[in-house]
Amino acid sequence: MTTDVNTAFAAEKTAQIESIRNVERRFQARIDRGEIRMIGGDRYEVLTGWDRGETFTVARNTQGQIEQIIANHGLDTRADGTIGLYASSPAWHDLGQIIPGGTTDIDEVLGLSGLDFKVDTVPALYEWNGELREHVDQRHTVRTDTGAALGAVGRKYMPIQNRAGFEFLQELVGRYDVVWESAGLIRGGRRVFIAIRLPETVTVDADGINDLIVPYVAVMNDHSGKAQFQCIVTPWRPVCANTERFAVRDAVTRWAVRHTAGATSQIKEARRTLGLSVRYFAQFADEETALARTDIALRDFHDVIGDLWPLEDDATDRTKTNHAARTGALDDLFRTETERVGHTAYAAERAITGYLDHAAPRRPAKTMTEELARATASLEGADDDLKTRAHKRLLLLRKP
């Protein structure tokens, strides 16, 4: 049986054209549904889901058709060229090593995320008049797999190895029905993180809005000498990807360990701290439910943001312009939240946390995109104090 070459070519070309049209239609449908929006040129911002706040660039051919979607993720790349990220579900534009449903094997997580490297310290050397000398009070931290320098530290500094710093969570993974949620490295391995999701979710206002809050424990290790080893308990709201990290009374939400000889034994004490997370989330749910049942007016909301971001009488025109832009952005977020949960203090808090997590201007480091700068600020708790102030201020509006 012979094949008509012209017919086969025409059929193949038709299929290619239809495929291109499908891509264009799906892309436009996402815009129409409000999932993405153009922010200039061929750059777009994701407005919903796990990737909310991230941007990507669309590469087009000479006919103006979409050829490639390029994610501006800013994540580190492993030695084999893959992205330094493990996740139990798609995130960061589906990049990294994804195991649907996750895994309970810490060694697998370390390998997939690129965290299976060790850190050592080497002498700090400098040149003087052609002679190489050692600075006896300083050392440099380096990766033993690549030799890359990570930071300058004091002579008493002791690296907390990634596995030693993270494996204490393995007990929780084994004791409860939880898995490793995500892990990755940023800034060339200077900062690494790993997170697990706790088994019990939190429901705010169980008789009303039924807003779901997901509890996580995240651990961050720093190899640059600029930060401590930290563990945080962090509530996370899936509907908008906000980190709802507020300090509530008598609850421990964060602890830190210095990189010293006794660090490993201190990390083992984390079991006690993590046990307090149950108390934290119980109290967190009570306070959030109280806010959900507190009606407020737009004037009340403006009073709160005025306390958080006061505008001085002698402010410059530029400061006044920035203040007006911030207020406008917060008003838009408050309006969106009130459509779902009513004109409540809870909606106000969601608007403020949403602004801090996704809209507040960030000045990224040279090696980071703005998207990664936002994610890092959220993980490291850059706005925790401001969120706590907002939380306490809104609780004052509760009716007796």
Cα distance between residue 182 and residue 171, in whole Å: 17
**Cβ-proximal residues to 246 (8 Å cutoff; 6+ apart), any chain:** 284, 287, 384, 387, 388, 391
Cα distance between residue 139 and residue 157, in whole Å: 8
Burial readout 217-252 (b: 16 or more C-beta within 10 A, e: otherwise): bbbbbbbbbebebbbbbbbbbeebbbbbbbbbeebb
The full set of domain ranges for the chain reads 23-71, 85-277, 294-395
The answer to whether 334 and 351 are in contact (CB under 8 A) is yes
Q: What is the CA radius of gyration of the chain?
A: 25
List pLDDT tens digits, range 132-174.
999 999 999 999 988 989 999 998 899 989 988 887 777 767 6
pTM: 0.60
Torsions phi, psi for 60 (to 5 deg): -120, 155
Residue-by-residue pLDDT tens, the chain, 400 positions? 444 545 554 555 455 445 555 667 777 887 888 877 877 667 777 776 545 555 667 766 666 666 655 555 556 666 666 666 777 765 544 555 667 777 878 888 888 888 899 999 999 998 999 999 999 999 999 999 889 899 999 988 999 899 888 877 777 676 666 778 888 887 778 888 888 877 777 778 766 777 777 777 788 888 999 888 887 777 765 445 555 555 554 455 667 778 887 777 666 666 565 655 666 777 788 888 889 999 999 999 999 999 999 988 888 999 999 999 999 999 999 999 898 888 999 999 989 988 887 777 766 554 555 555 555 655 566 677 888 889 889 999 987 6
Alpha helix segments (H runs only) across the chain: 5-32, 106-113, 162-166, 170-175, 263-268, 270-275, 277-292, 298-308, 317-341, 345-354, 370-380, 384-395
